[in-house]
Amino acid sequence: MTWTGKHTGKRTALVLGAGGLVGAGWEIGVLRGLLDGGVDLATADLIVGSSAGAVVGARLASGRGGLDALYEQQLDGEATEPAARLGVPTIVRYAVAVLRSRTPEEYGRRLGRLALAAPTVAETDRRATVARRLGRVTDWPARPLLITAVDAATGELTAYDENSGVPLTDAVTASCAIPGVWPPASIGGRRWIDGGIHSTANAHLAAGYDRIVVIAPSARGSKVVLSPARQGADLAAAGARVEVITPDAGSRKAMGRNALDPAHRAAAARAGRAQGTSRAEEVAAVWTG
């Protein structure tokens, strides 16, 4: 199911980008810091989640436990999965794929081939790990939630929602399937990879909303993968009020260089909370102004 809809008449959208376990901790910290400053983004009319943002978005949209509990979980030191890393050869293949691609779809196809050939854990094991990260959140929430994934064969972006007929855990597992690290997820007879491959935020899926906040652990972009700032600018040019938050210097230091190492999750969450508090006034001007 490819999302092609517009949302004219809807007020607010929250976009949560890709960024691994550490990025998820940072996003939750930012959300908690914004709440400290009086801005509750859990009230969004739409939540869009990619990869790390898919996990955070599903937890947030469910309303189970509340943001306080979700934040505290980032600090408790419990590892929901082992540390992983993109090896140098894989990083080189990512770079070559960017240089040789002209569109996000072509880039997605190249990384899809990488993902399909890479030796990884079994799909069932990976799904079980994602299910642990989601905890009690097993069903699609009542509020609108989009979870992105990329078709490993075609490179096309898909956004699953409650009407897609796909279980929430399967959609999130697909969205978190980092090529070369985790196995592509099987859904509907096809294989799917990380939604952050198309872009690190996929903020374009919030087109038509009046007020949009993008929280993206990765500010990166390229000639084929649009950065969160570029996507935010495009949404603003179309008439939306937009605020984009990416890690500041303090958050980048706390997050470290390996977004897949849970040892940095707590520090990232604390740094995100500080950054969120510092940005609350700007976000409030967009969200409630």
DSSP secondary structure of 201-265: S-GGGGTT-SEEEEE-S-----SSS--HHHHHHHHHHTT-EEEEE---HHHHHHH-S-TT-GGGH
What lies within 8 Å, CB to CB, of 111 at 6+ separation is: 94, 97, 150, 179, 180, 193, 197
Residue 78 in this model has a pLDDT that exceeds 80: no
194 is an active site residue:
yes
Q: In whole angstroms, what is the distance from residue 226 CA to residue 203 CA?
A: 10
Spot the catalytic one: 50, 51, 199, 227.
Answer: 51
SS3 label, residue 152: coil
The predicted structure's pLDDT at residue 2? 39
Q: Is the dihedral angle over the CA atoms 117, 170, 51, 85 positive or is it negative?
A: negative
Spot the catalytic one: 194, 199, 218, 227.
Answer: 194
Q: Poorest-confidence range of 69-78, 124-133, 158-167?
A: 69-78
**Tens digit of pLDDT for each residue in 181-240?**
999 999 999 999 999 999 999 999 999 999 999 999 999 999 899 999 999 999 999 999
**Tens digit of pLDDT for each residue in 86-110?**
888 999 999 999 999 999 999 999 9
pTM for this predicted structure: 0.94
Mean pLDDT of the chain: 93
* pLDDT (average), residues 265-276: 97
| DSSP conformation class of 197 | G
The predicted structure's pLDDT at residue 29? 98
261 is an active site residue:
no
